[in-house]
Amino acid sequence: VKCLLETAEKHRSNKESFFMSNHKALERISGDIKVMRQYFDGLVEDMPALRKVIEKEFEILTTMLELMSIAAEITDSDASDFILVMHKKIQDIDLTKHAVGDLWHLVNPTQERAVWELVESMEDTLLAVVPPDASLAQQAMDRSQVPGLRLDEMMAMHYIDSKRRRPVKPGAVERMRKIWGQEGEGE
């Protein structure tokens, strides 16, 4: 996940995909996910409780792959369904907007603004499904947490440090800084 977000950060074109062939790139990402999944599935026989963890942890990877496939116009699935799934995992509107926008920026940057608008139009639904909880950021900063292992924390730190200009309304990064305890840092 972090690698995809960092790649989107480095991608400077607002017209061309980062990949020479979106189809080939997404096939390779799918193959990588399958190889990792097979490895962990092989451990289930010795540790049956691992099955639920595997499902939960791989859901974000398959959701991101599906969103990129939608962005690349390889599949006709409805992006809003997968944005909702992604938001359930991330649990922060601004992080969801940034992440979905970055996935579009990688494979179809000319449509990045349109997907930002789609996510913004879904904001009421997303908030109803996962109401904001400021304590989530505090939990991530708790001493018992290993820094960087939580998806939401890793994303927040990435976007707080990001220099890439996005078609986002002002204030999103400032809200992240406030929530994630980074007031006054950065730009």
Instruction: From 51, 2, 58, select the one nearest 34 (Cα to Cα).
Output: 58
Predicted pLDDT at 21: 94
Q: Please state which of the ranges 45-54, 68-77, 172-181 shows the lowest mean pLDDT.
A: 172-181
What single-letter DSSP state applies at residue 149? -
Predicted pLDDT at 165: 74
Predicted pLDDT at 105: 93
CA–CA distance, 126 with 163 (Å, rounded to integer): 26
Structure tokens at 39: 């490895």
CA–CA distance, 169 with 141 (Å, rounded to integer): 27
Predicted pLDDT at 180: 66
**What does pTM read for this prediction?**
0.80
Give the chain's mean pLDDT. 83
Predicted pLDDT at 149: 66
pLDDT band at 162 (very low <50, low <70, confident <90, very high): confident
Residue pLDDT, tens place only, 80-132:
999 999 999 988 888 899 899 999 999 999 999 999 999 999 999 998 888 77
Kindly list the distances between the CA atom of residue 107 and the CA atoms of 6, 40, 130, 182, in Å, as whole numbers in the listed order. Answer: 14, 29, 28, 31
Residue pLDDT, tens place only, 65-93:
999 999 999 999 999 999 999 999 988 88
Characterise 184 by phi-psi region: left (phi > 0), alpha (psi -120 to 50), beta (else): left
Task: Give the pLDDT mean for 11-28.
Answer: 93
Predicted pLDDT at 186: 44
Q: At 37, which amino acid appears?
A: R
pLDDT of 137 over the 90 cut: no
Q: At 119, which amino acid appears?
A: V
More confident: 89 or 156: 89
